[in-house]
Structure 1
């Protein structure tokens, strides 16, 4: 009997010992990639400059520009850090300068670089529909919305309205929808930064006015636009 009880005790001991064995834990699978896209609304504020200007043309005051729109993101690599984006937007551009525009008795327009002492204010403003197409690089993931980015692209714009306003202190002269303005304007741009804050620069590749346009004094008007400031991206 003692031998039988000893055997039963040993068997129960081995059973308890075997139950204490732990199974190896299976590590959860970490999801590396996702089908996320950086579809974004954007908003920019810029300081507007005119380049390649006729002799004597200067700017004063703060020439501001605003733009807003939406961009559709299309990643082209597995990590989704490289993409192409296209979208649609609206822009407002304002330029304070001394290139005055007056209507002639024959119905045409005359351009002249005026002395600032002879005018109180002179500005040109335009409203555009924008079609941006850009190449994108960022070190983002689908879990993080704070990342570095470099976006560069090409923007085609259509001027659907423009207006020049000259105030010489005695009279105000207005020219609306100037036919000498290039309706289609295009340029290249670059945006770079971290998270929401990004520096932005856009350079016009074609002239603001149509070719072969001259001032009364015979200077060519081949001015181009340069817009520099900040752009914000909102998911």
Structure 2
């Protein structure tokens, strides 16, 4: 009886040894297969939610007679956009989000007086002034339509994004510095609190060119030498999208 039991144990032991490689290979195949299935399921429903950062050159359009821009006027913007695909291949989408813009305009309109009663003068080009500009800090809400050649397998693709940007003026500051002194005005009541305009960006991968044109004037109620100041913003530059 003991002899039969020993033989049975030996056969069982040998059978387990022979089956171990099979179970090991099966387990490895299961481990390798599951992540691939999960990755396809998640990535095929990707969204191009993105942080963006832009650097622009600002110009003023529809300037009153005698008004000129001085030096280099810069603009910096940044924010986040939420992507909402509208087709099966996810190459078309709408997007909206929230951002912040800082715009600086160097020009020769001297602003004096107070925030509630500002006075505007076209400065003589021969006048010795050290500094003259106005700056704006804006809260932006962009709404855009997107076309791109993206796939769930690659983050490098061609894109064309365009739409409208609505902005709220959170802070403004004008500085005029001449030999006789310095005038600083914050939150000038003559500036438009709400601005809106069209924009377009296009490019490949992270780097893209960008252009924005304001549809309403920067000033809502201001005159210089009897002319209403109807200047609008035109900005061109580059914009970076980061996932």
Partner of 2:111: 101
Partner of 1:79: 89
Partner of 1:16: none
Aligned residues: 203
What is the alpha-carbon distance in structure 2 between the residues aligned to residue 154 and residue 164 of structure 1?
Answer: 27
What is the alpha-carbon distance in structure 1 between the residues aligned to residue 74 and residue 63 of structure 2?
Answer: 18
**3-state SS, counterpart of residue 116 of structure 1:** coil
Partner of 1:230: 238
Instruction: Give ranges in structure 1 of 5+ residues lacking alignment.
Output: 1-28
Q: CA shift at 1:55, angstroms?
A: 0.7
Aligned: 1:187 with 2:207 = no
**3-state SS, counterpart of residue 199 of structure 1:** strand
Instruction: Give ranges in structure 2 of 5+ residues lacking alignment.
Output: 1-36
Trace 1:1-235 onto structure 2 (pairs within 5 A).
34-103=44-113, 108-118=117-127, 119-211=129-221, 213-215=222-224, 217-235=225-243
**3-state SS, counterpart of residue 217 of structure 2:** coil
What is the alpha-carbon distance in structure 2 between the residues aligned to residue 134 and residue 50 of structure 1?
Answer: 24
Q: CA shift at 1:112, angstroms?
A: 1.4
Q: CA shift at 1:120, angstroms?
A: 2.0
What is the alpha-carbon distance in structure 2 between the residues aligned to residue 116 and residue 145 of structure 1?
Answer: 50
Q: CA shift at 1:209, angstroms?
A: 0.3
What is the alpha-carbon distance in structure 2 between the residues aligned to residue 168 and residue 111 of structure 1?
Answer: 15
Partner of 1:5: none
More helix by share: 2
Q: CA shift at 1:102, angstroms?
A: 0.8
Partner of 2:21: none
Q: CA shift at 1:43, angstroms?
A: 0.1
What is the alpha-carbon distance in structure 1 between the residues aligned to residue 132 and residue 125 of structure 2?
Answer: 9
The TM-score with structure 2 as length reference comes to 0.80
